[in-house]
């Protein structure tokens, strides 16, 4: 897959006959292979301690330097909760169990990565902490973390629409 203006090559037969077929499908005119660019699942945690919300500064594109809600993409065979527990451990070395996570809502998002636009559906969970955690950042992905007072939160500092909508709903 490459950006829409480039030639698209079939991942099955390698020919340059891949053409868009409807909103999210690409069909190979040579071998008939059809690739569906479906929405991917992702999970995020609104982590609250002492009235403040944990936000991460992104170390990578897209939106490097902007703030993000902890979380990430769901892998094969994972639930949203399992993916989120895994991501929180990978990104922050924060250990949580699935039962600590309370589902809130989901919002769609678009994620431009290396010139390909991915569509996601981001499920958000609330995680209330009773003690301040010791966080060890995965520095390849996260450059800093902040406990943000909702009163001083500027939504323009956030990387993604889904996160802005989630925090607006949560704080509204
Ligand atoms: Zn093909």
Q: What is the pLDDT of residues 95-131, one digit of tens each?
A: 999 899 999 999 999 988 888 889 999 999 999 999 9
Q: Is the pLDDT of residue 140 over 90?
A: yes
Question: Domain check: are 16 and 82 in the same one?
Answer: no
Question: Domain check: are 52 and 34 in the same one?
Answer: no
Distance 25 CA to ligand 1 centre (A): 13
Question: Domain check: are 121 and 61 in the same one?
Answer: yes
Distance 2 CA to ligand 1 centre (A): 15
Q: How many angstroms separate the Cα of 21 from the Cα of each of 6, 26, 121? A: 16, 5, 22
* CA triple 17-117-165, angle to 5 deg: 155
CB 140 within 8 A of CB 125: no
Q: Is the pLDDT of residue 3 over 60?
A: no
Entry pTM: 0.89
Distance 31 CA to ligand 1 centre (A): 4
Question: Domain check: are 143 and 64 in the same one?
Answer: yes
Question: Domain check: are 90 and 136 in the same one?
Answer: yes
Question: Domain check: are 102 and 62 in the same one?
Answer: yes
Q: How many angstroms separate the Cα of 151 from the Cα of each of 47, 51, 72, 172? A: 16, 10, 26, 11
Distance 116 CA to ligand 1 centre (A): 20
Q: How many angstroms separate the Cα of 161 from the Cα of each of 68, 108, 127? A: 10, 8, 21
Distance 42 CA to ligand 1 centre (A): 29
Question: Domain check: are 134 and 57 in the same one?
Answer: yes
Average predicted confidence (pLDDT) for the chain: 93
> What CA–CA distance (Å, rounded) separates 102 from 64?
28
Question: Domain check: are 46 and 86 in the same one?
Answer: yes
Structural domain harbouring 152: 41-171
Quote the number of domains for the chain.
Answer: 2
Question: Domain check: are 63 and 33 in the same one?
Answer: no
Distance 29 CA to ligand 1 centre (A): 7
Question: Domain check: are 114 and 34 in the same one?
Answer: no
Q: What is the CATH number of the domain that holds 91?
A: 3.90.79.10
Question: Domain check: are 83 and 130 in the same one?
Answer: yes
Distance 9 CA to ligand 1 centre (A): 8
Give residue 24's Cα distance to chain centre: 20
Question: Domain check: are 91 and 111 in the same one?
Answer: yes
């Amino acid at each position: 897959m490459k950006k829409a203006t480039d030639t698209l090559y079939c991942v099955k037969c390698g020919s340059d006959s891949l053409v868009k077929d409807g909103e999210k499908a690409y069909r190979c005119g040579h071998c008939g292979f059809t690739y569906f660019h479906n929405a991917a699942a992702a999970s995020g945690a609104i982590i609250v301690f002492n009235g403040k919300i944990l936000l991460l500064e992104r170390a990578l594109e897209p939106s490097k330097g902007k703030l993000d809600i902890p979380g990430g993409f769901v892998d094969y065979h994972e639930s949203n909760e399992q993916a989120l527990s895994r991501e929180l451990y990978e990104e922050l070395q924060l250990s949580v169990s699935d039962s600590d996570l309370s589902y809130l809502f989901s919002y769609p998002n678009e994620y431009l990565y290396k010139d390909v636009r991915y569509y996601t559906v981001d499920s958000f969970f609330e995680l209330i902490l009773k003690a301040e955690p010791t966080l060890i950042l995965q520095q390849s992905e996260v450059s800093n973390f902040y406990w943000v007072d909702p009163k001083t939160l500027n939504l323009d500092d956030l990387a993604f629409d889904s996160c802005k909508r989630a925090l607006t709903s949560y704080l509204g």
